[in-house]
Structure 1
Amino acid sequence: MTRTLEICVCTYRRPQVAETLASLMKLVQPDGYAVSVLVIDNDDEPSARDVVERIAQGAPFPLRYVHCPQGNISIARNGALTHSTAQLLAFIDDDEVAPSNWLVHLTQAMKTDQADVVLGPVEAVYPNGAPAWMQRTKIHATMPVWVDDQIITGYTCNVLIDMQSPALRDCRFDLSLGQTGGEDTAFFAKVVAAGGRIAFASDALLHETIPPNRVSFAWLLRRRYRMGQTHGRLVAEGGTSARLWAITMCKVAYCMGAALLQVADTGRRNKAILRGALHVGALSGLAGGVVLRQYGPDFTPK
């Protein structure tokens, strides 16, 4: 029996979406799956329409465009959930490219592991002149977070979701996180809380070219701090305690100590500092601090 699978690309004023779609047009369709592509344009103006319609003319499978404006990524992601009727929904970012066997690996892992959600890794492609420590540590790469051998949340930059799973019923992306980030972390945490199982397909690799404004330690610090804020906010929903605060502060102190001890090794030192920034962000989230904004029509990337 053939299952329907739609790939969703949420885009916002990013010309690289043409490269993303070009890579999707070369995908091998897994046996037993009918593949289609859905582009959700989150710009106030339908700026990606012409690109999508041009590529759709020669597409090997259905490619359609939906305009979901307002500069809020959660609106775009919810638009995918609303406008797609496929049994399986994959997400890929509009600055990533996929190898031809991407979907094959994701679908195989979902079947083998009987999972509700399957994540794949994202490998960073650095521009010329990027700091050696970033390239060596691959600090921009995306991988799942395991706790006690279980993946406890996920991300939308490389994922396959079984929309027929009971754990996905009524799940939506939080609009309040749509301009700060962390909406995908919160979404998949709810899926796990509802009994959903997340698996990992190590071979389902995507590549993301890192733009110059992100080849920056300051950008990484903001990113890790915001990620910590999201984690702290999710934890705070279940209640906080003096012990939790103490543990988190100890983690901050440990990371700063590790950075001092490894000050001569740029990569290890910076990774320790970034880990510390994550825990400082968690403290902010526990305290209900204002979450850093990273998205929207009047946001200027730093």
Structure 2
Amino acid sequence: MSAPRQDRRLKITIATLTRRRPEMLARLIGSLGGIDLPANADVRCLVVENDKEPLSRARVAEMSPLSNGLTAHYVQEDNLGIAFARNRAARDAIAAASDILVFVDDDEVVTPEWLVKLVAGYRSGGARLLGGPVLVAPPREELSGLQRVIHQGLAEHFRAKQLAGSGSRTIGDSAGTIIATSNWLAETGIFTDANIWFDESLGSAGGEDMKFYREVIAAGIPTGWVADALVYEEQPPARLTLGYQFRNARDKSVTNLWDKVERGGKSRWRLLPKIVLRSLKVVLLAIAIPFTKGKTLLPMVMLAGSVAGQAGLFFGYRSRQYTNVTGR
């Protein structure tokens, strides 16, 4: 019988996927070199490059070992699609006999205590899949007036999203909050024993982590939330446009709805009253823009995008959200 998780020595793989963002990847790896390492654990880093060419292999090799002694391993997954790359990371972690797979994104940086807190959350409860908050990183360059409005709006949106339901989310219960792979810890046994993997049929649509979470819940696997394990996501100028925010909200909305429809849990026709009501709210938010000094601008655009995603369901629209890379 294996030792309880509180006492067991854990093997941990921290994985990130990357595609044509060498500067952001370097900043993430640098931040991983500054993390505190949890006691009674063996930790390794893994970069999965989702591209036809091994463009980041030399960069990863020259940055390893990291400042704290971690080794950064590199693999290339040339089947394009986030789920292919995530499953490649899972297979690599399993082959390395890792008990735990952790995901963080290549456009993020982690706080020094992030991993210690995430692993402490895992050890202290019974959850087999856990997540933590993602907040907006400070801008790295001078922003225009509109970009500052969007950046500030995103910072407030991310923070409100993380605080929503904070009273009900615990280390032993994620309380229905979808655990995104931007700050994610799971037992590798979910793959090997429960046979739950990321859905590769989604291609470049995104939403693979949302579907994974729902399958975990359906299998009765306990999930949890570690509120103080923080990571920060960069917002490059390409994302600080109203067009990008509209498309991002649209594609996330339609991907979520397709998943519900295809699982038989939602009729698209029931959306019509909601589309009408939310469209009216878009108008109200637009009217309020001059009276709120622009604070309702971003919520208006994001809600309009979400409504467009709902309407797109009726026309067979499918997201290709991750075809284009933003950031450097």
**Bin of the TM-score, shorter chain as denominator length:** 0.7 to 0.9
Q: 1:233 touches 1:282 (CA, 8 Å); kept in 2?
A: no
How far, CA to CA, are the matches of 1:18 and 1:47 in structure 2?
A: 13
1:133 and 2:133 matched = no
The alignment covers a number of residue pairs equal to 299
Query: Which runs of no fewer than 5 residues in structure 1 stay unpaired?
Result: none
Compute the displacement of 1:224 (Å). Answer: 0.4
Q: Which runs of 4+ in 1 moved over 6 A?
A: none
| Paired AA for residue 43 in structure 1 | D
Q: CA RMSD in A?
A: 2.8
1:92/1:140 CA distance change after superposition, 3 Å: farther
What is the TM-score of this pair, normalised by structure 2? 0.81
Match of 1:189 in 2: 214
How far, CA to CA, are the matches of 1:255 and 1:168 in structure 2?
A: 46
1:73 and 2:82 matched = yes
1:148/1:239 CA distance change after superposition, 3 Å: farther
Q: 2:44 touches 2:71 (CA, 8 Å); kept in 1?
A: yes
Q: 1:71 touches 1:295 (CA, 8 Å); kept in 2?
A: no
1:196/1:146 CA distance change after superposition, 3 Å: farther
1:284/1:19 CA distance change after superposition, 3 Å: same
Match of 2:33 among 17, 25, 38: 25
How far, CA to CA, are the matches of 2:11 and 2:283 in structure 1?
A: 51
What is the TM-score of this pair, normalised by structure 1? 0.87
Match of 2:172 in 1: none
How far, CA to CA, are the matches of 1:7 and 1:104 in structure 2?
A: 12
How far, CA to CA, are the matches of 1:222 and 1:242 in structure 2?
A: 20
Compute the displacement of 1:139 (Å). Answer: 5.5
With 70-79 and 236-245 compared, the bigger mean Cα shift is at 236-245
1:189/1:147 CA distance change after superposition, 3 Å: farther
How far, CA to CA, are the matches of 2:260 and 2:234 in structure 1?
A: 32
Compute the displacement of 1:251 (Å). Answer: 4.4
Q: 1:72 touches 1:179 (CA, 8 Å); kept in 2?
A: yes
Question: Identity across aligned pairs (percent)?
Answer: 25
Match of 2:274 among 248, 257, 260: 248
Compute the displacement of 1:260 (Å). Answer: 4.0
Query: Which runs of no fewer than 5 residues in structure 2 stay unpaired?
Result: 1-7, 169-174
CA-to-aligned-CA distance 1:51-102 (integer Å, 9 cap, x gap): 1111224561332111111332211111011111211111111121112111
Compute the displacement of 1:271 (Å). Answer: 0.5
Compute the displacement of 1:6 (Å). Answer: 0.7
How far, CA to CA, are the matches of 2:193 and 2:301 in structure 1?
A: 36
With 125-134 and 11-20 compared, the bigger mean Cα shift is at 125-134
Match of 2:104 in 1: 92
Q: Equivalent residues in 2 for 1:28-47 (5 A)?
A: 28-47=36-55
Match of 1:215 in 2: 240
